[in-house]
Structure 1
Amino acid sequence: MTKLIIGGLFCIVFVMHIVFSKIDYKKGCYYTKPLLMPLLGIYYILSVAEVNKLIVIALVFGFMGDVFLMWPQGKNNFMIGLGAFLLGHLCYVLLFLQGISFVKDVPVWFYFIIIIYASIGITVMKKLTVYLGDMKVPTYIYMATILLMSFSSLARILVMDMSIAFTLPFIGSLLFLCSDAMLGFYTFKGKFKNGEIYIMLTYVLAQAFIVGGYLY
């Protein structure tokens, strides 16, 4: 019963946040945004017999990133928020690589996927570089990390079936790529219509999908 209540609260707060973003009610967003990752974390802890600490730590870093990026104009806030999300992605890299041993017979198509990931990263960074200024190196490191996170999620297919346990985290990793790419353009190139909504929608769903995959 408690798990259902927490899950319901998470959904309600998520919807409220999206609505507040749509009507540009900043105060409401400041109340709802910091609640999302803690509620998701509590729901995960209540839903599993054995808690994976990497998921909990990743959500804690997500919470920290959410809080600091609410005031990105503050001194060092953006860098701290970016660093928190980067550490969260590294936690997910370690999570996805758990149980994966380097197999000898890697299918050919897997190498083509590496090229696709590299192409995505290069394309995004080419479009962003001109706007980054002195943030080039941190952004390059962050982009490489999130690409590694998504690729690590895909690598699980080498040792498991196309089940919900694989599919949800992989979709979540792709949503993370979309969310962070949009955040990069929104922050450095300039705001675009409904940008905050699209960024938060893909970000929260990314976290929820990754966590959801580890409930099975």
Structure 2
Amino acid sequence: MQGDRRATVARVLLLGYGVAATADLLALLADAPTGHTVFKPLLLPLLAAYAAVSGGPRLLTVALLFGWGGDVMLLLDADLAFLAGMGSFALGHLCYLVLFARHGDRPADRRARGRRTALGVAYGAALVGTVALLWPDLPAELRVPVAVYSLLLTVTAFRAGALGLVAGLGGALFLLSDTLIATGIADWPQLPRPDLWVMLTYIAAQFLLATGVLRAFAARGPGTRPYRGKRT
């Protein structure tokens, strides 16, 4: 009975996340900043509560709450708030990296290892190329923080693949979302309604990352880690 109640609460929380996400995107589409200010801060607390009720690891909940801190800070129009928000997101990425190390799998054969290596090279090239292109157009005081955060974000996106396709896609979308923000800071040409695309990719990224972690955690059970030794 208790398990049924937890499942029901989890479904309600996930539905709430979907409703808040839809409302936030509609507010951006309608150029209603008040709606965005109201609904954006609701997103990650709902997703964090869903992860906790679903029996996910505590670090996942903490990572999502650091993301919530970043969301709130980025609603404030100030350079210091932007840096604080980026720092909060960075702490969230560190939590994700610990989770990926605990619950991710290493490639089992040479072909899989080759694909993982190729993916790492692609992410590395994307990082170097993006930072090099953005660097001259970023405000001087943000160049180093953005470069350091980009490195952490890229490692997170790459390592997310250790938990499977769902988490890997979430990591890639997170990287895309924050890259769109960086191009806006650098005053590059933007897609129509850039805030809408930033939030759409971000909302999907956090959901996919949370889902990927929950699946991996459920598959192995709490307190377990994948085998790291050699088969004898």
- The TM-score range, normalised by the shorter chain, is 0.7 to 0.9
Q: State the superposition RMSD in angstroms.
A: 2.0
Give the % identical residues. 26
Between the aligned partners of 2:23 and 2:62, the Cα distance in structure 1 is: 25
CA 69–57 in structure 1, closer or farther in 2 if over 3 Å, else same: same
Match of 1:89 in 2: 93
Aligned residue pairs: how many? 204
Query: Radius of gyration: which is bigger?
Result: 2
Q: Decide which of 52, 60, 67 is 2:57's aligned counterpart.
A: 52
Corresponding residue to 2:148 among 141, 166, 178 = 141
**1:123 aligned to which of 104, 129, 139:** 129
Separation in 2, partners of 1:75, 1:181? 18
Q: d(CA) in 1 for partners of 2:33 and 2:97? A: 33
Counterpart CA distance in 2 for 1:100 and 1:27 is: 40
Name the CA distance, whole Å, in 2 between partners of 1:178 and 1:101: 24
Cα deviation digits, residues 158-186 of structure 1 (max 9, x gap): xxxxxxx6211111000011101001011
Q: Which runs of 5+ in 1 are unaligned?
A: 157-164
Q: Distance in 1 between matches of 2:108 and 2:23?
A: 48
**SS of aligned partner of 1:214:** helix
Look up the equivalent residue of 2:42 and give its one-letter code: L
Whole-angstrom CA distance in 1 between matches of 2:160 and 2:125: 18
> Is structure 2 residue 72 aligned with structure 1 residue 67?
yes
Gaps of 5+ in 2: 1-7, 216-232
Equivalent-residue separation in structure 1 for 2:47 and 2:208 (angstroms)? 11
Contact 2:168/2:209 (<8 A) preserved: yes
Change in Cα spacing, 1:169 to 1:104, as seen in structure 2 (3 Å) is: closer
Correspondence for 2:194: 195
Amino acid aligned to 1:89: H
> C-alpha separation between the residues in 2 aligned to 1:196 and 1:183?
8
Report the Cα distance in structure 2 between the residues aligned to 1:120 and 1:84, rounded to whole angstroms: 23
Question: Which residue of structure 1 aligns with residue 119 of structure 2?
Answer: 113
- Give the deviation of 1:70 after TM superposition: 0.4
| Residues 10-43 of structure 1: CA deviation (Å, up to 9, x unaligned) | 1111001001001111111111000000001111
Q: Is the 8 A contact 2:48 2:64 kept in 1?
A: yes
Matched-pair contact (CA < 8 Å) for 1:40–1:208: yes
Give CA deviations for 1:119-151 in whole Å, capped at 9, x if unaligned: 101121122111112211111101110111112
Larger mean Cα displacement after TM superposition, 30-39 or 189-198 = 189-198
**Offset of 1:75 from its aligned partner?**
5.0
What letter is aligned with 1:44? A
> Residue in 1 aligned with 2:182?
184
Q: Read off the aligned partner of 2:176 and give its amino acid letter.
A: C
Q: Post-superposition shift, 1:102?
A: 7.2
Counterpart code for 2:130: V
Q: Given residue 15 of structure 1, which amino acid in structure 2 is its aligned partner?
A: T
**Structure 2 equivalent of residue 161 of structure 1:** none
Deviations 1:177-204 (CA, angstroms, capped at 9, x unpaired): 1101001011222573211011011111
